[in-house]
A and B are shown apart, each in its own frame.
Chain A
Amino acid sequence: MTTGEIRAEKKASAPSRRLHLAGNALRWKGATPWMLLAPALALIIVFTLGPTLVTLLASLSHISLIEKTWTFIGLENYREAINSEEVWQAARNTLIFSVLTIGPSVAIGLGLALLVDSFSRGRAVLRTLLFLPMTANLVAMSIVFSWIFAYRGGFANSLLAVFGVGPLNFLADASTALPTVAALEVWRASSFNMVIYLAGLTTIPLVVHEAAAVDGLRGWAKFRRVLWPLLGPSTVFVTVITVIGAFQVFDSISIMTDGGPLGATETVLYLVYRLGFRIFRFGYASALAFLLLAVTVLLGLARARVLARTELR
Chain B
Amino acid sequence: MIGQLRLGFWVRVMTTAVAISVALFPFLWMLRTSVASVEEQRSLAISPLPASFDFGNYSAALQEGNLISAMLNGFIVCAAILAFQLITVVPAAFAFSVLRFRGRSVLFLTVLSALLIPVQMTAVPNFLMMNQIGLIDTRWALILPFATSAFGVFLIRQQMSTVPTALVDAARTDGLTTTQTLLRVHTPLAMPAIAAFSLFSFYVHWNDYLWPLLVTRSESLRTPPLALAIFQQVELGFEFGKLCAGAAIVTMPVLIAFLLAQRRFVEGMAGGEIVG
Contacts and interface: CB of A to CB of B under 8 A. Distances in A.
Interface in B2-49: 12, 15-16, 19-20, 22-24, 26-27, 29-30, 33, 41-42, 44, 46
Tier of interface size on chain A: 35 or more
Contacts of B234: none
Given A132-B23, A282-B128, A269 B120 contact: yes
Interface stretch (B51-59, B188-196, B245-253): B245-253
B225 A138 contact: yes
B29 A147 contact: yes
Contacts of A248: 118, 120
Interface string A159-200: 101000000000000000000000000010001100110010
A139 B126 CA distance: 23
Contacts of A153: 41-42
A49 B114 contact: yes
Given A250-B209, A282-B124, A282-B128, A44 B169 contact: no
B63 interface: no
A136 B27 contact: yes
A216 interface: no
Contacts of A27: 172, 178
Contacts of A255: 229, 232
A158 B44 contact: yes
Interface residues of B, number: 100
Contacts of B19: 112, 115, 130
B150 A48 contact: yes
Given A33-B101, A39-B88, 9 more contacts: A28-B101, A37-B91, A37-B96, A50-B125, A51-B129, A58-B128, A251-B209, A289-B121, A293-B121
16 contacts: A21-B100, A23-B169, A29-B101, A44-B148, A49-B117, A126-B20, A129-B20, A130-B20, A132-B255, A133-B23, A143-B246, A148-B29, A254-B209, A254-B229, A272-B120, A292-B121
Interface of B: 12, 15-16, 19-20, 22-24, 26-27, 29-30, 33, 41-42, 44, 46, 87-89, 91-92, 94-96, 99-101, 104-105, 107-114, 116-118, 120-129, 131-132, 144-148, 150, 153, 161, 165, 169, 172, 178, 182, 203, 206-207, 209-210, 213-214, 224-226, 228-229, 232, 237, 240, 243-244, 246-248, 250-251, 254-255, 258-259, 262, 265-266, 269-270, 273-275
Interface of A: 1-2, 5-6, 9-10, 12-13, 15-17, 19-21, 23-24, 27-29, 32-34, 36-37, 39-41, 43-45, 47-52, 54-55, 58, 63, 65, 68, 112, 115-116, 118-119, 126, 128-141, 143-148, 150, 152-153, 155, 158-159, 161, 187, 191-192, 195-196, 199, 237, 241, 244, 248, 250-251, 254-255, 269, 272-273, 276-277, 282, 285-286, 289-290, 292-293, 296-297, 300-301
Pick the 3 closest A-B CB pairs, nearest first: A140-B247, A153-B42, A51-B125
